[in-house]
Each structure stands twice: as structure tokens, then as C-alpha cells.
Structure 1
Amino acid sequence: MKLKGLAPAALLLWGAAPAFAHGTAIARPIQQPAEDRELWITLATDSLDEVQATLRASGMAPTTLPRTQNSVSMMKVRESALFRISEMMHERYKRCAGFLAHETEAEATEAMKRAGAPELPYLTAVDYTLDNADTVNALIGDLHEPNVLSTISTLSSYPTRYYKSATGAEAALKLKQIWSDFAASRPDVTVEEFVHTNYNQRSIILTIPGTTKASEVVVLGGHLDSTVGSSGSNPNAPSPGADDDASGIASLTEVIRTALAQDYRPERTVKFMGYAAEEAGLLGSQDIAKKHKSQGINVVGVLQLDMTNFQGTANVDVGLITDYTNVAQNTFLRNIIGTYTGLVIRDTKCNYGCSDHASWHGQGFPASFPFEATFADSNDYIHTASDTLAQSGNNANHALKFSKVAAAYMAELAKGTVQSTVGDIQAPTVALTGPSTAAPLVGPVTLTATASDNVGVTRVDFLVDGAVKGSDTTAPYSFVWDTATVPNGAHTLSVQALDARQNAGTGTPLSVTVNNPSTVAALHPTLKAPACTTVNAKCDSGDLLLGRGTLGPERNAPNTLNSSCADQSSGSFHVDESNDRLVVSTVDGTPFAPGKTVKIEATVWAYASGPSSDKLDLYYAADATAPVWVSLGTLTPTSGRAQTLTKTYTLPSGGALQAVRARFRYQGSAVASACGTGKFDDHDDLVFAVTK
């Protein structure tokens, strides 16, 4: 936890003093549960001072003095402190988790020693050859983005997958079910739970036995848990984890699906793993890697997929992690990617303990970690409630690239063949039948299609500019597309149909023109607030509200009707509170009118170290030219930094222009006047036209 107004270095001066916020001393004790045990952690020494300072400021000081060797340090902490360390590692160093947790001092000491040791010899020296192109191409050719998207959606729909939460345990069992369904036709394939001590979340392992070299094992894994900064104090805090790491699990799941659908028979045994408790110090993968080492299991290669769906680096597809990974296998992986995918690679580093590959590397197994971007450009929204599919454009196009990488890696390291000619190989036929008009499209438009298949159509996907916008599983196939979700101008509609074998057929694309009235507000010259003066189904403030008063600075501040309510400018931009955007839209997609249910979406920047102390008060006025504010209640952020809070209400009868107000504050209370005086208060109005 940080102290408002103090630089990180200043934290060291406060020792174990209570956390401060906004200049007022506020004790925020951490309740230690009765079962709160002590663990040892190892971490890169460059982060040691800041970790110690963060724990002291949070009342979680380490219980031993640190020891350092090979640029790695070790110390003992309470298990309840792990989430705070994880939070700080992400915010300060963009590491995830950035440390390893150990049950004993001996294990931590050994890990610290191994960090500076040369790589251990392998039980089997692997000949890295590229000679299995038929199998690679068959697998890659059967990978489909909608399937990857579906898995991300399923996993990120759980409120949280935090390793000590009930829904985290449920999500692991859901993954087991998904993988078991794929393996139903292969009695030789097993799907099992790996049970861990001290928490209920299981790791999930699917095994495809090898044919001629079964004792040699290839591992492909990713972690299934998720976290936000408040997970340790509130295990149920929303943490969808769409990118971190539902995306990596989804990329691997699609490889499992096509491998089993094509009756893939590897020479070496292949194990797919969904690790529990990665965010708490790689706990799950360490248990598994140590067991493989202690049992003498001959793991000849490990591939880690942790975050695959956010292309943060322009013109780069894969960031290849070069530290704490195997040099020879990394060269092999570069050759695979270049030969079979043509993806652009850039080397990058993520430092000590940044993902589950480190667990295998620490036990002497060759591991590689292809990442979604260079590490410096990774997704800023992970470990927040905003780690959703929306940050990746609501598609899985980038994650699909890593399915291809993983499939090619598996086929070239485990070798083996597929039976591509077994079963149904005929793709469905499909055609887009609507819209039929050549006129510009406005508002919601129904897209329709026909499809047929020799066995049966299981799903029809409707695409706009190459991205799936909706699907239908039952004829007649249709989808209502809100054209207001895309810019005005030319767009391409297309359709694809899939059968149970995931054979995909595509229809002829259709070019259309969208010409919706503008939904982006402009500053009203008289009312002095952002306004949409043409009746529509949506009004969006855009970037007019970004900031608070002089912070940002906010354009045209204070952006309240007739400048009637001033903002305060204490603190720092995007460290302290601000309301950055307001969007009002009808729920049914039709124009604003009295009696319509509308949704307010307020994008706020919450104080990272105390988001529950921030409050969003929402109000509406039936006549923006003579406003009488009516309260819609108060919302509380669930995590720090950027997030969107929503509220619905029914439009009243009133003026031709109506308005909503957002007051975002630190502590304090709601006021009937809709105008507060707290020194971190941000007030913003949005005006929109309503049909009389």
C-alpha cells in the first residue's frame, strides 16, 4: 500500500506505521486469519527493498531478515502477504507473480542457490529437428478463433478464479469438464486433478500417452487462477482475468480439441496442464514440477502460455522470454515459429519468477515462454477488474496465434501423426442473406444466413470486419447487430458455419455502409457541458471529461451545467480519483424517449491502495436547461485504477435535453445538491436529446 503524496523511497521512513491516504492517518489493519501460515519466498534482489517497504506500510512486515545470493533474496512472510507482494510486483515491475513461494527454508535456500547455477543436464538429449510438417499443418489448419474466444469467455465469466475462493475451485473443475469432453472418444487419454495442500483449487492435467517414447514427456501449460490487488483481504473481489491467464488456457484448450478430434498419436507423452495458484508465487506449478523431478520423470521440454491475447507491441506477435528459460529450446522454438507461422518475434525478459516456466526451469527442465508482447508493453489491465475481453477488442485473434505456436511445438517435439481422414472432413456451406438493402445502415440491423452440412451445422458466426460479433446455433440463423458499435463508413459483413468436427465453411462477404447520427458529445456552447443534441440511442462523452480540474488537465473543466459545480485538484493525475468518461445508452438500442430504460456507464480512475474508500454518486435531471437533480444512488469501485461502473434508470418525462451527473469522491457522503466540496471530488455532466 502506498502513502498518498509520498514517493516510494519515503515509505522506508515510516517503518510499520499505519497507511495514510489523502493526508489523513487512517489505520487499515489486515485481519490475519487463524490459518494464516508462514511461508518463505524468493525474489529478485532488485525488488527486495520495495517489497519490504510495501509490507511494512501494510502492517505485514517480513518475519525474518532477508538473505541474498546470486541476485536472488529470500525471507519469511505470512501467506496473507502474498497478494500484496503480487500486487506491488505487477504495479511496480510488471511481473506476475515475480516471486516463488516455498513451504520450507531449505526449499527457498536451494532455489536461491540454483538461480546462479548452470543448467542441469537432462535425462535425455533432444534432437531438435523440424521434420513433421504434415502433422503440424493438419493441426494448425483446424484451429479456430471462435473456440478460443469461447473458452476465454467461459473462464472470465467467473467472478474470480483466485486460488482460495470458491469460484476459483469451481473454475478448475469446469476446465476439467471441458477437457474431459474432448477426451471422451479417447479412452487412452486421462484428465485428472492434482490436489494441493492448504487450498482447494486443483491443477488440471490432461495426458496423451506416447506411442514409441512414452517415458519422455512434453509439457504445455498455463495458469488457471486470477487475482486483483484486493484478493488477499477479499478473496471474492472481481477478477475476470480474461488475459491473465484465461487466454493462455484457451490457446492450449484449442490445441487439445484439434489434437483429439484428429486422433493425434504422439511418439512422446504429452501433458497439458492448467496450474492452480500461480499468482500466489507459482505454488501449483512448483508442486507439479517438484513431483516430476522427485519421481525421475523425463520431461524433455516445457512450453508456458501466460497471457496471449493482448498485442501490446506494434508489429510484434510474440515476445520470446530469454531469461530463466532454456537457450537451446528457445532456438528450436524460433525455428518452429518462423517455419510454420511467419509470426514476428522479439526477444524480451521478464525477470525472476514471472510465470510457471520458472518452476520447471528451477528443477532443471528445459522451458520456454512465448509471450503476447515485449514485457514492457504487456497488458496494463491485468490484476484489475478491467482485465476483460474488451481490452482485446472482444476477439481472440491474437490468442489464436499462440494456439498455432503450441500446436507446432507439440508436433515437432513430441512428433507423432494425426488421422485427418478419419470421420467427417466436409465443411458446411453458408450464405449471408441479409441485410438485402444497399442503403446506408442505421441503428440495430438484423443479419441473417442460411447454412447446410452433410452431417449437421452446430453454429453460424456473424463477422464484421473479420471479427465475430454474434453467433446462432439454431436455424433460421440470425443476429441483431448494433451498427452504432462501429464508426460510420464502409464495413464488411461475412459469415461462417461450423459442424461438430469444427470444419468451417465461409460465405461470400458483403460490403455495407454505416451512417449513424453521431453519438459522441461536443461541448454545448451555452450549457458548458458535453452534449449530444441529436436524438439517438447513445451519448458518449469521449475524452472530454478525462482528468479532474487541472489534473490531466480536464478539457473545459468543470464540465458541469453552466459551470455550476467546481472540481477539486488535489493529488496527481491517474494516481488519485477522477471520472474520465460517461456513456448513456438505451438498453433496447432504440432512441432516447420517456419511459425507456437507459444505462449509465461511468469510467473512473480509483485510488489503487484504497478503492473501497472511493464512491461514485449518480444523479439525473429531467430538464438540462433548468436542472433539478435526483439521486440514483452510490456505487463503489471494486479495484484500483481504471474501471467502468454501471447503473440503469428509466427516462422521465421532461425537457428536450436531459442530463446525468457523476460525482466521484474520496470518502465523504452523497449530497442532495449533487455538488460536493471534498478535495478529491470530480463532477461531470452529460447532456443528451430525448424525443418529446
Structure 2
Amino acid sequence: MNMKRLASVLLVLCSVSAFAKAPPAEAPDGEVWITVGSDALDYVNLALAAAGHAAPTVSGRSGDVTALRVRESQLNLISRMMHEKLNRCGGFMHHDTEAAALAALDPSAAAKGAQATAVTYSIDNAATVTALQAGVEELAIRGVITHLSEGYSTRYYTSATGVSAANWLRGYWASLVPASRANEVTVELFNHSWAQPSVILTIPGTTMAEEVVVLGGHLDSTSNGSIAPGADDDASGIATLTEVIRVLMRQNYRPERTVKFMGYAAEEVGLRGSSAIANHYATTNVDVVGVLQLDMTNFKGRPDVDVAMVTDRTNAAQNTFITDLLDTYQSDVQWTTTYCGYACSDHASWTSAGFAASMPFEAPLSASNRHIHTIHDTIDKSGGDARQAVKFAKLALAYVAELAKGGMVVDQTPPEVAITAPATGSTVSGVTAVTASASDASGVNRVEFLVDGALVATDTTAPYAFDWDTAALSNGSHTLTARAVDGAGLPATSSEVTVTVSNVSSTAGFDPVLKAPRCASPSNVCDSGTLLNGRAGIGPELNAPNTIRNSCRDGLSGVYLVDQSNERIVVSTTDGTHFAPGKLVRIDATVFAYNKLNDKLDLFYSADANNPVWQAITTLAVPTKGLHTLSVTYTLPEGGTAQAVRAVFRNRGSQTPCMEGNYNDHDDLIFTVSPSAMLR
């Protein structure tokens, strides 16, 4: 923001930042008009003369303000002079026409041209203020400051990154509006004659919609061609406004007066964005009853001051209203007053247009952030957090609630939700798509899907759906329900949909030819069941050794469930479809371990169970003694329609498909793989 004036502490800052500010690569050179403090006129003349330019034409003067005609390409030079000679970061207002510049010399004329209802300030909406202020989150403010200051090298009004920042802000503000209010709360770009647009979010009023309350801050930063993070100036103000919007939307706030939030473009080069909007509102008779400007909110310049109310070119009655809000709702916040100087921030645009405007600032001007307008204006200069800005977010919420009035509309109607597929009474198998519809006036927060009363999936965005792997359940009747939770936290559960699950059995049987457990039918799961329990002569293992054609023997020593054994192998596709080449499958092998240091599980696969050639998948360790299920995935290869996996659970030794040992166990599982053409 271009507001630092009369503060000697800014002398070094302004000198450095002025020369750090690079002009646009192709500066336009049309005639423009500016208004400056009259005490700066001699310095303007000297600066232009030193650069070989003629003195500017004086168009008019009134009191302490002078209107000048200059070339647009000279604005950067004038800005640098304001920094170097007068310790002012900015110090002028840009005007497109001479008439506009002359009108700015006569505030009384502007006031006559603007339509603004004289409001009676009252503080009587405490329940709403208290509830809104309780919703402020420091982390949310910090996140926006970080994004704007670190995500764009500069937000200068003619730069591509400055345009990107404005577009991002529009999208982010829109994302805070719940779907149920998307047709009511609007977020729009206000385009200008330069590249960067301003951003405006509007919450329409309920009973006094024609009266408008404005809260604004500028989204640009100082320079084009160099790094200008602008964390405090003014990512902090934009982030504070964003948090106010987030809280209002989350708590379903409905104002009586219309509330508009504005992210202004091109503040750093003469308050251009805010001037364009304020003047447009004045000429089109928009009834703006109050304006709050947030320009720099996150640097605590003095330990004994939290908020400094700017007294010049602001509205005294509204300033008193704001300090009364602080005394009423934030009694722990210490405030004082400060003087800002001519054209120090966007509130001056609204004051010049004839509207009541105020600016609470983060510190007295003499203690303001010395890093603004430099590459060092980063969030770490404010302690790396947004605790100071939290105070301004709470103040802005109190301002909205007490000037726009209104309150939160509590949603007491639960959402409507229904399962739309599959149909009740249908038969399902394999992976089945389950879909649901859900709606609510406050928006739907999420839809939960339940099978037989157990939660199996959650979807937060429409269309609400999940893929149900029916093979994980037993064949027979099962119920589906959907539970929706709306934006107010109210739940509702759909009617039950009853379906019949009918899948080919996924439990293996013993193949008397291959001498191992086998799933003969195409499926997405093959489970050895209880066929592998135990080892050789210990435990209940049937058909030992359960390796293809008895190709590998098991050790005979030990006691069941004391010493090592394979207990179960399950192979399944990760996407729920049938086994086929190229599918990612998961092996879940259950073992009983005796010694976590020496026991290892080796897993192998063969692309052809009839003529097995074993390929290693992995070796897995056990975490402790006892029963464990160890898992790994691999991709099914091209090969025969009967493929197999082998589990070798060994005590000591190294990875090999067959290892003699007193405590070693070898087991195979054969399953049917569909050809690629049959992949479904």
C-alpha cells in the first residue's frame, strides 16, 4: 500500500524500495492526471527536470492538494521521488481525465454526487458478532498470506503474475461459497483498462438490499520486474478479508444490508482500482453506507498498540463506531489513532467519491513495517504467523454484523438422500457401482455408504458413488443404505435397498491332478481357506505338501502353532475385476512365526501352473512371534489360464522356491486367469 508518509522511520525504506521498483517493460505514455499533496509539487518539478522532462502542467489547486497533468510513463519517476525526498510510499492519486482530477479537489462536490444513506450506528447484534468471531482461524489467514506472497514473484498490476493472483483470488473466494448459495452469493471480476482486474464478492441483503457495506483491501504489490512478495502489504489485508468471507459462509450468515468484499487492483500506482470502482458506484447511484479498508493487518509495530485508526480523509462518525466495536467486543485489543497523509490507501478513493470510509491500521505510522515495498516483505517479518491479523478479522466481522445487521440462518431440515443404483431386488456380482442422490438447502457435506449397516465408503462430491466389491461378502441377501450429512451437520439416512449377491465361489478346492489348492472358475479372489493350515505331519494340513505335483517337501519337526507354518494364502485383484494379464493383484499370506529374527516368507509366482517356472516376488520378515498376515502386490503376467503363487516360510537360509529344512513349509495356490480378450 502507498500509505507511509511523515514517518521518518521510513526514509531508508522508501529510498531503497523506490529504486527497487522496476517500471513495466513497455510503459504506456498517454496523458494522465494526478493529485498530490501541494507540499510535494516542488519535488515533482525537480525530479522531472533532472530526468530531462518539462515541468508538469498544474490543472488546479485546492487547499493542500494540487492536480497535475503528466505522462503515464513519468508515474514511476514521481513515485520514486515521493519515496526518496518525502518519505512517502506513493502519495498521489491517478485520474483518467482532467475533470476527474479537478473533482477530487472538491470533496463537497463528490459528496453531493454520491448517493449514501446516513446510517444510525448501533451496537445491538451481540449474539451474531460473538458467534462469528469464534469461527476465526489463524491458520486459514496464514495460508492465504503465504500463497499470495510466495506463490507469485510479484502482483504488480501490469504483470502476468499479478493477473494470475487476481484470478486465483476470484476462484478461491468462489470456492468458499456453499453450493446452496452459489446463485445468491456472486464473485466477479471488475475489469479495468490495465491487465489486472479487481475482485468483488457480493452477499445480497435480505431487507435493505439497496444499502451496501463495502470491505476492501488491495491485491497488487509494488513492482514489475523484481521480486515483490507483499506479505504484509497487502496479502495480509486480503487474507483477513478472505477469512471473514470463510466464516460468514460457513456460519450461513444472512445480512440485512448487502455486503461486498473487494480485492482492488493497482493500488500501488495511484489507487487506480478502488478509484474506478468508487467513482463508478457514485455515478451509478449505488447506496454505499460504509467502507472498511484493510491495508496491512499482520505486523504489530508497537507492543502497546494493536490497532491504529487513521483519522485523516476518513469518516469521523464511522471511526467512532469502529472503536466502539473494539471496546465492546475486543476489550483486550489496544487502539490508538494515527495520521496517514494524502492518498495513503484505498479508503481515500471512497472518501473522495463521497462515501463514509475508515481504515484501522496495524500500527501507528511511526512504527509501521519497515520491510514493505522491498523483497523482504515476507510473513516471517510478522513472526511467521497471522496472530495480529486475527484481531482485524474479528473487528471486520463485528463491523459487518453491526452495520449490515442480520444473522445466521440455522438449518433445521435434514438432507434428502436415496440410493439410485443398484435397484432393490436386483442380483449383483463382482464390482458393482453404487450411486446415490443427495440434496439440501445448506449444501451436502458428504454421503456415506453402508452395507449391512457397516460404513464402507464416503464421497464428498456429487455424483455420489463408490465401487462395491461384492466378492468380499458371502452370497445371499444384503442391504445398502446411504447417509447424507448437510452443511449444518444434520444427517439423514436413505431407505434400504436389498440386493442378492451371487458370486462364483472364491474358495479353493484340492486339485487331485496338480496336487495343490485350486480355484477353477474365473473370479477376482482365490482363497486357500483351511486347506493349508499346519505343516506336513504337524497340524491339520490336508493333502500335504500342497505343492504342484508334490514338487517340494515340508519339514517334519515341531509343534502346531508353536513352530513355523503357512496357514492361508489369498490372491485378489486390487480393482475387483476378474484375474487377467496386466491386472495388479495382492497376495495376503498368513503364517505362524516362531522367531522374528530367523523366520522369513518368500513369495513366488508362476505364469503357468501346469509347467511352473517360479519367479521371485519378494521376501518378507515377521514383526514378532505368532500369527501374522503379510502382504505384497504384483502384476499378473501373460501366460496360461492356470497361474500360481508359492509361499515358502523358512527358518534361516536364503530365498529359493524349494528349500529342505526341518521347520520349512511350502504351499502353492492355483487360480484361473481370463485371457486378455475376456478382461471385463
Q: TM-score, normalised by structure 1?
A: 0.54
Does the C-alpha gap of structure 1 residues 292 and 122 become closer, same or farther in structure 2, counting only changes over 3 Å? closer
Structure 2 equivalent of residue 129 of structure 1: 122
Conserved 8 A contact 1:62-1:78: no
Q: Are 1:170 and 2:159 matched, yes or no?
A: no
Q: Deviations over 1:416-437 (max 9, x none)?
A: 001467799xxxxxxxxxxxxx
For residue 322 of structure 1, the aligned residue among 311, 322, 340 is: 311
2:252 equivalent among 250, 263, 273: 263
Give the structure 2 partner of residue 219 of structure 1. Answer: 214
Q: Report SS of the residue matched to 1:394.
A: coil
Rate the CA distance shift 1:265–1:85 in 2: closer, same or farther, 3 A: same
* TM superposition shift of 1:113: 2.5
Aligned to 2:82: 89
Counterparts of 2:217 and 2:176 in 1: how far apart (Å)?
18
Aligned pairs for 1:64-75 (under 5 A) are 64-65=57-58, 67-75=60-68
Q: Does 1:408 align with 2:398?
A: yes
Q: Measure how far apart 1:119 and its partner are.
A: 8.3
* Shift in CA distance, 96/191, structure 1 to aligned 2, threshold 3 Å: farther
Measured at CA, do residues 240 and 317 of structure 1 come closer, stay the same or move farther in structure 2, by a change above 3 Å? same
Does structure 2 conserve the Cα–Cα contact (< 8 Å) formed by 1:96 and 1:355? no
Residues 478-509 of structure 1: CA deviation (Å, up to 9, x unaligned):
xxxxxxxxxxxxxxxxxxxxxx9899xxxxxx
User: Given the alignment of the two structures, is residue 159 of structure 1 paired with residue 153 of structure 2, yes or no?
Assistant: yes
Check the 8 A contact 2:114/2:285 in 1, yes or no: no
TM-superposed deviation, 1:71 = 0.9
Question: Aligned-residue CA RMSD in angstroms?
Answer: 2.9
> Residue 102 of structure 2 aligns to which amino acid in structure 1?
T
Cα drift, residue 77 of structure 1 = 1.7
What aligned pairs does 1:21-40 form with structure 2 within 5 A after superposition? 33=26, 35-40=28-33
Is structure 2 residue 196 aligned with structure 1 residue 201?
Answer: yes
Matching of residues 596-615 of structure 1 within 5 Å: none
Q: Which blocks of at least 5 consecutive residues in structure 2 are unaligned?
A: 1-15, 17-21, 415-444, 447-485, 490-680
The yes-or-no answer on 1:100 pairing with 2:93 is: yes
- Partner of 1:386, secondary structure, is coil
**Shift of residue 70 of structure 1?**
1.4
Q: Which residue of 1 aligns with 2:359?
A: 369
Q: Which residue of 1 aligns with 2:134?
A: 141
Percent of aligned pairs with the same residue?
52
Shift of 1:93: 4.6
Query: Cα 1:137–1:374, aligned 2, differ >3 Å: closer, same or farther?
Result: same
Cα distance in 1 for partners of 2:170, 2:69 equals 34
Contact 1:163 1:200 in 2 (8 A): yes
Task: Choose the corresponding residue for 1:296, options 274, 285, 299.
Answer: 285
Check 1:34–1:318 CA distance in 2 against 1; reply closer, same or farther (3 A cut): closer
Q: Secondary structure at the match of 1:135?
A: helix
**Alpha-carbon distance in structure 1 between the residues aligned to 2:53 and 2:375:** 24
Q: CA contact under 8 A between 1:90 and 1:96: conserved in structure 2?
A: yes
- How far off is 1:376 after superposition? 1.9
* Contact persistence 2:217–2:262 (CA under 8 A): yes
1:234-273 paired onto structure 2 within 5 Å: 235-273=224-262
SS in 1 for 2:75: helix
Distance in 2, Cα, partners of 1:59 & 1:393: 45
CA contact (8 A) 1:30 1:58 kept: no
Alignment partners' CA distance in 1, 2:250 and 2:371 = 35
Matches within 5 A, 1:355-434: 355-419=345-409
Q: Return closer, same or farther for 1:239/1:61 CA change in 2, 3 Å cut-off.
A: farther
Structure 1 residue 236 displacement after superposition: 2.5
Distance in 1 of aligned mates of 2:144 and 2:487: 17
Contact 2:145 2:236 in 1 (8 A): yes
Distance 1:124 1:117 in 2: 15
2:211 alignment partner AA: E
Residue 274 of structure 1 corresponds to which residue in structure 2?
263
For the pair shown, the structure with the greater C-alpha radius of gyration is: 2
Instruction: Assess if the C-alpha contact under 8 Å between 1:263 and 1:418 holds in 2.
Output: yes
Deviates more, 1:70-79 or 1:45-54: 45-54
Counterparts of 1:51 and 1:379, CA distance in 2: 26
1: CA distance, partners of 2:413 / 2:245: 18
Deviation at 1:288, TM superposition (A): 0.4
Amino acid at match of 1:365: F
Offset at 1:52?
Answer: 2.9
Gap change, CA 1:172 and 1:131, over 3 Å in 2: same
Q: How many residues align?
A: 398
Residues 253/96 of structure 1: CA separation in 2 closer, same or farther (3 Å cut)? farther
Q: In the TM superposition, what whole-angstrom CA distance separates every residue of 1:126-159 from its partner, at most 9, and x where no partner exists?
A: 1100000111111100001100000000111210
1:76 aligned to 2:66? no
8 Å CA contact retained: 2:110, 2:353: no
Distance 1:423 1:406 in 2: 30
1:84 to partner: Cα distance: 3.2
Q: Distance in 2 between matches of 1:316 and 1:344?
A: 5
Give the letter for the 2:264 counterpart: Y
Change (3 A) 1:332 1:241: same
Look up the match of 1:690: none
Aligned AA for 1:375?
Answer: L
Deviations 1:70-99 (A, max 9, x none): 110111222222233334434555544321
* Residue aligned with 1:219, SS: strand
Contact 1:62 1:76 in 2 (8 A): no
Which residue identity lines up with residue 106 of structure 1 in the other structure? A
Q: Could you say which residue in structure 1 is the equivalent of 2:36?
A: 43
Q: Residue 272 of structure 1 aligns to a residue in which SS?
A: strand
Quote the Cα distance in structure 1 between the aligned partners of 2:141 and 2:362: 15
**C-alpha displacement at 1:212, in angstroms?**
0.3
Instruction: Decide whether the 8 Å contact of 2:111 with 2:355 is kept in 1.
Output: no
Q: How does 1:540-619 map to 2 (within 5 A)?
A: none
Deviations 1:256-311 (A, max 9, x none): 00000110000000000000000110110111011111111100000000011111
User: What is the CA–CA distance in structure 2 between the aligned matches of 1:359 and 1:30, rounded to whole Å?
Assistant: 24
SS in 2 for 1:54: helix
Partner of 2:604: none
| Superposition map of 1:376-525 within 5 A | 376-419=366-409
> Per-residue deviation at 1:61?
5.0
**Long gaps (5+) in structure 1:** 1-20, 22-28, 425-454, 457-499, 504-692
**Match of 2:185?**
189
Which runs of structure 2 are paired with 1:51-62 in the superposition (5 Å)?
51-59=44-52, 61-62=54-55
Deviation track 1:32-83 (CA, whole Å, cap 9, x = no partner) reads 9473222100011122222332333344555424642211011122222223
Q: Is the 8 A contact 1:240 1:388 kept in 2?
A: yes
TM-aligned CA deviation for residue 375 of structure 1: 1.4
SS at match of 2:94: strand
* CA displacement, residues 614-653 of structure 1 (integer Å, 9 cap, x when unaligned): xxxxxxxxxxxxxxxxxxxxxxxxxxxxxxxxxxxxxxxx
TM-score (norm 2): 0.55
Residues 171 and 502 of structure 1: CA distance in aligned 2, closer, same or farther (over 3 Å): farther
Whether the 8 Å contact between 1:97 and 1:278 is mirrored in structure 2 is: no
Distance 2:111 2:99 in 1: 20
- State the shift of 1:117 in Å: 8.5
